Structure 1
Amino acid sequence: MTITTLSSREFNQDTSRAKKAASEGPVFITDRGKPAHVLLSIEEYHRITGKRRSIADALAMPGLTDIEFDPPRVSIGLRPADFS
C-alpha cells in the first residue's frame, strides 16, 4: 500500500493523479501543510467501514429483549405561573 500526500493546490490542479494514486493506497490532502482530507478508493472505504447497513440496522440493538427495564412512574404536577 502506497501512501501519497498532495497539497490542496496539487489536488485541485491534477485530480486524475489523485484518483490514480487512491487506487494504490490512501491519498492525504494537506491544507497549509497539515493533513485535512483523505481520498480512498470505494473498495478501500468499504473494506474499512465493513458491510453497509441501514439506519434502522445501525440503531437496532440486538439482545435488548433480554434486559429488564421497568422505570418508576413519574408524576409531574402543574402549578400556576408566577408573573410577578
Structure 2
Amino acid sequence: MSLQMWRACSNLPTLSHPGGVAMTITTLSSRELNQDVARAKNGPVFITDRGKPAHVLLSIEEYRRLTGKRRNLVEALSMPGIADIEMEIPRSREFPRPAAFE
C-alpha cells in the first residue's frame, strides 16, 4: 500500500475489506501502542514512527485469514491498487520442451 493510499484511508473510520467486510482502523504512535495492544481486536492498527506509517498490527485471526487464503492469478491481478505497482517481467530466453506424445 502506498503512503498516499494509506493517508486516504487514515481519514476514514473504516476500511473496506476485499471480502466486503468493513474494519475499524486505529492509528497509534509507538508510545501509544505500548499502552493498548488490544485495539487490534477491532481491526488493523497502524503504528507510526515520527508520524509516518511503519507497521501494522493485526489480531492472529485476521493474520491467519489474510495469509491462509491462496489467490489465483486472476484474483491477484484484480486487487485494488494493483495498477500502481510497477513490475517488469524479463522475457524468457529458454525454448519450451517439445511435447512427448506416446
TM-score with structure 1 setting the length: 0.53
* Counterpart check, 1:36 vs 2:54: yes
Higher relative contact order, chain-length normalized (CA < 8 Å, sep 6+): 1
Structure 1 partner of 2:30: 8
Tell me, in whole angstroms, the C-alpha distance in 2 between the residues paired with 1:4 and 1:68: 53
| Shift, 1:50, TM fit | 1.3
Tell me, in whole angstroms, the C-alpha distance in 2 between the residues paired with 1:33 and 1:10: 12
Structure 2 partner of 1:23: 41
Per-residue deviation, residues 33-61 of structure 1 (Å, max 9, x unmatched): 0000110001100111115xxxxxxxxxx
Aligned partner letter, 2:33: F
Question: Whose radius of gyration is greater, 1 or 2?
Answer: 1
Segments of structure 1 that go 5 or more residues without pairing to the other structure are 52-66, 70-84
Tell me, in whole angstroms, the C-alpha distance in 2 between the residues paired with 1:38 and 1:11: 11
Instruction: Give % identity.
Output: 74
SS of the equivalent of 1:23 reads helix
Segments of structure 2 that go 5 or more residues without pairing to the other structure are 1-22, 70-95
Per-residue deviation, residues 4-55 of structure 1 (Å, max 9, x unmatched): 000011113x0xx22x21011000000000000110001100111115xxxx
